[in-house]
Amino acid sequence: MKIGNTDTDLLPCPFCGGEAYLERNHRAFVQGQSTKVTFVRCRRCNARTARFELARFGRSSHSAEAERLAKEAWNRRIK
């Protein structure tokens, strides 16, 4: 398995077969709080995974951990 910051390890969209990409450090409002989230989204139909809040993870590696979880969530949806 490839480790890194490329998006090439993302599987195609389970709904339309479109290309998926990682949305990193995206500003969003969660429960009324402005925060940053990372998730995977389809370029074609906008299907996406749950948003992973960076603040939930350890200070040093929160970004990489959120990316890893978002990719896992996306890839798990494909049989």
The footprint of Zn ion (CB under 5 A) covers 13, 15-16, 18, 42, 44-45, 47
Please, which residue, 10 or 13, has the CB nearer to Zn ion?
Answer: 13
Residue 13 beta carbon to Zn ion: minimum distance, rounded to whole angstroms: 3
Q: 55 with 35: CB under 8 angstroms?
A: yes
Residue 21 beta carbon to Zn ion: minimum distance, rounded to whole angstroms: 11
Amino acid at 52: F
Please, which residue, 22 or 54, has the CB nearer to Zn ion?
Answer: 22
